[in-house]
Amino acid sequence: MIEGILEYLNQTEVIKTIVILGSMGLFFVGLFGLLSQRHIIKVFISIGIMEIAVFILFIGLSFQKGLTAPMLGDAHTSFVQMNDPIPHAMILTAIVIGMAVLALGISFAIEYYKLTGKNRLDQMNEMKH
């Protein structure tokens, strides 16, 4: 019984469906947090969750079952079937940039709180006339 379930879950279509539904669920959790929270740090965390969902979707859909990772195997001595390394490199770059932007935004939020004592989006009204 367990082998049948694992065999079913190991099909390419099922894996892609799980990746799509899982990343959509994670994206909507982040979207709910973005729309429902007014605390600036929670908003940044929600945006980070949405960003991770997009990364999971992109990598999950570019991965092909049965192929080796680009860094594994005997690719330096013989030709082997491997996954395309370009999407992985792009997502790695996007992760680094996303974490830098998140750190910068959170540091701005902390400095803003130190200057004004406000940490909620609905209280930030310095730019209004």
Total domain count, the chain: 1
Domain around 104: 2-66+82-121
CATH number at residue 13: 1.10.287.3510
Is 54 inside a domain boundary? yes
Is 31 inside a domain boundary? yes
100 half-sphere exposure, CB direction, 13 A CA radius: 6
Is 129 inside a domain boundary? no
What's the chain's average pLDDT?
88
Note if the pTM is more than 0.95: no
Is 99 inside a domain boundary? yes
pLDDT tens digits, residue range 54-111? 999 999 998 888 777 767 656 566 667 778 888 888 999 999 999 999 999 999 999 9
- State the pLDDT at residue 24: 97
Dist CA 1 CA 6 (whole Å): 9
Kindly tell me the burial class for residue 13, based on how many C-beta atoms sit within 10 Å of its own C-beta (0-12, 13-18, 19 or more): exposed
Is 108 inside a domain boundary? yes
Residue type at 127 in one-letter notation? M
Between 2-9 and 12-36, two packed helices, what is the crossing angle to 10 degrees?
70
Dist CA 55 CA 73 (whole Å): 25
Is 77 inside a domain boundary? no
Is 100 inside a domain boundary? yes
Is 74 inside a domain boundary? no
Q: What percentage of the chain reaches a pLDDT higher than 70?
A: 91
**Could you count the other beta carbons within 10 Å of the beta carbon of residue 5?**
9
- State the pLDDT at residue 78: 64
